[in-house]
Structure formats: structure tokens, C-alpha cells
Structure 1
């Protein structure tokens, strides 16, 4: 089949500018426990968003979705709004579970992590379809990476997350899969296969953990 083309580019110089912005912000950052540049994740998220038929704003949101959470804070959020527009800024904010540091008492980091993640999932009904597609792309790529590395490294993987044997991470991803399934109709038919992929990947992580550790003691946030 011959290649297809559009009359005008779907990605413009705004996307190029966002890529440079993202690579500059994350220039020294690596994926947890690996020598992989963090930008590999950002490129994967943007790619998955485009595969869901997301537009340029969503692709840019995919590139920038961690800038605010990973140290940029409200200053970066304002700059993103000025340079890339309010829609992109809204997507980035919706995909940040903290803005200027940890909003919960730093003396109890486990509880702070749990409360941030629960609040992130609980806010799904108020997130725009665009923000949800970026979030889905982010979680699909993260879940894929977790499963691949779990198969490769076994339970040593969980040391990257500083959560013992990984129960909290698995609970969080099960809750994410349920939340995306509830919101799937709002994200459009092109996102549906990725909702299904997240469920399959999360279930595979759970099954692998059971083979290593036995059944999880908790399946969801509430038990």
C-alpha cells in the first residue's frame, strides 16, 4: 500500500518547540532504575496519543505532561500556557498529581503518595477527554515498562519504587485500569483498544506478582 499524506502537516513548529522544551527540562533525568533517558518516555506518550487520533495540543501535552510535576511547578505551568496555549496547560495540570512540591506532610511519605494517587484517580470524571487520553498514554507506556522489566528482573524491580514488594504500585494500576474503563466512552473509539491494553497489562503484572509472591493482600484502594 502506498504511503498516505495530508494537505498540510498535522504537527507544526509548535510540536518541535515543545520537544525542545521537554528535552531541555528533562535533559539529565533517567527512567527509574535504568540508564534510559527520560525523554524516551515522553516520546512514547506523544506517539500513543497520536495513535489514539489525538491532535497536536494533545501530542504536545504528552511531551510536557511531567514538566510541572518534575520540578517545574507553577512557574513552568504559566510558561507552558503562554508558549503553547491554555488547552495544553490544562492537559499538563490535569496530569500532574502535585504542582509545587508534596501537598501532604512530608513526614509520612507513604501516606502522601497514597493520597496523591487516590486524588488523581478520583478526579477522572472532571478531566477533559484530551487530558484522559494523555493520561492513558502515560499509564499504558509505564505499565508496559513495568511488565517487561518485571519479567526480566523479577521482584528486584520493586526496589525502584521504594515500596517493598510493589503492592502499592499494583493497587494503583488496578485502580487506574478501572477508572479508564469507566471513562472510556468519553475518550472516543480510537482510545478503546488502549484502555483494553492497559487492563491486559495490569492483569499480567498482577498474575506475575502472584506467581512470585502469592495473592496480593489488597486489590484496590479500599481493600
Structure 2
């Protein structure tokens, strides 16, 4: 089948500018515990959003979704709104655990509270913000699974954990959250919802092989 084309490109100079901005912001950043440039994750998220038939605002939101949380803070959020529009800024804000660039490491109560607040916010997120979130979490989950298969329980040291229970519980809750919002995500996001579930279940099954059954299955108990 020959390649198909469009008379009206979905991705314009705005996307190019956002890619440049994201690359500059994250230039020195690597994926946790790897030599992989962080930009690889941003490109993957934007790609997954586009595969869900997301529009240019969503694709740009995918590129910029970590800028505010990873050190940019409110100044970066204001820049994003000014340069790329309110819709993109809203997507980025909805996908930020923090607004002032303050990271909370480890699996302590503050980490739990931030993640629970993120999960609790699902019903208020727009479909666009949910699709970017789904793309982000799906790519992260895939990376965790690949690295878990390769490195075993050593992979959890990247998250300041020994057995990864907190992270694994979080991803189970994420899978449930996206399944609850399935109807608002749109037809073309359904395969990604299902793929996240399969990936999370595979991580759980691998953990059972390594560690035995978990003492908890979800955040709530």
C-alpha cells in the first residue's frame, strides 16, 4: 500500500518549537538508572498520544508534560501558556505532581499523598489530559517491565525501594483509574488502556516469581 499524505499537516511549527524547548530543558537529564537521554521518554509519550489520534495540543503536551514538575515550576508554566496556549498549559498542569519543581523521593507518606492526589484527580481531568497521562504511564510501565526482566529486583533501587511494592501498587491503581475513565478517553485510546493493564499485570506476575505474593494489592489495602 502506498504512503498516504494530508493536505493539512497535523504537526506545525508549534510542535517543532515545543520539541526544541523540551530538549533544551531536559538536555542533561537521563532516565532513572540508565544512560538514556530523557528526551527519549518525551518523544515516546508524544508518539503514543498521536497514535491515540490526539491533536497537536495533546502532542505538545506530551513533549512538555514534565517540564513544570522537573524544575521549571510556575515560570515554565507561564511560558508554556504564553508560547503554546492555554490548552497545552492545562494539559501540562494536569500531569504535574508538583508545580514548584520540588521532588519528594522515596516511598514515604508524602510520596503516597502526591500519587493518591494524582489518582483522585482523574475524574476532573479532560480527555486530552487523560490521554497524555495514559501515554506517559504506559511508556513508563513498559520501560519498568523491560528493565525488570533484565535486571530483576535491582531495578527498584532506581525508585529508592528494595522490592518496588509502592511503585507496583501505584501502577495497579493507575490501570484501574484509566479503565474507569475508558469512556472519556475515546475510541482510539482503548488499545492503550488495555496495553497498560497487560503491562502492569506482567510486572505483578514477575514480582510474584521473584518475591512471592504481595502483602497488599492496592493503595487502600
- The residue that corresponds to 1:13 in the other structure is 13
Structure 2 residue 127 is matched with structure 1 residue 132:
no
8 Å CA contact retained: 2:107, 2:161: no
- The residue that corresponds to 2:116 in the other structure is 118
What are the superposed Cα offsets for residues 142-200 of structure 1, whole Å, 9 maximum, x if unpaired?
A: 00000000000000000000022100000000000000000010010100000000000
- The residue that corresponds to 2:55 in the other structure is 55
- The residue that corresponds to 2:215 in the other structure is 217
TM-score (ref. length: structure 1): 0.97
- The residue that corresponds to 1:180 in the other structure is 178
8 Å CA contact retained: 1:65, 1:91: yes
- The residue that corresponds to 1:29 in the other structure is 29
| Residues matched between the structures, number | 221
Structure 2 residue 55 is matched with structure 1 residue 66:
no
39-48 vs 109-118, which moves further: 109-118
- The residue that corresponds to 1:76 in the other structure is 76
Structure 2 residue 147 is matched with structure 1 residue 149:
yes
Q: Distance in 2 between matches of 1:138 and 1:102?
A: 20
Q: Secondary structure at the match of 2:116?
A: helix
Give the RMSD, CA atoms, in angstroms: 1.4
Q: Secondary structure at the match of 1:191?
A: helix
Q: Secondary structure at the match of 1:190?
A: helix
Shift of 1:217: 1.0
Q: Distance in 2 between matches of 1:175 and 1:123?
A: 13
TM-score (ref. length: structure 2): 0.98
Q: Secondary structure at the match of 1:5?
A: coil
8 Å CA contact retained: 1:18, 1:63: yes
Shift of 1:102: 4.2
In structure 2, stretches of 5+ residues that fail to align are none
- The residue that corresponds to 2:94 in the other structure is 94
Q: Secondary structure at the match of 1:37?
A: coil
Q: Secondary structure at the match of 1:217?
A: coil
8 Å CA contact retained: 1:49, 1:62: yes
In structure 1, stretches of 5+ residues that fail to align are none
8 Å CA contact retained: 1:102, 1:112: no
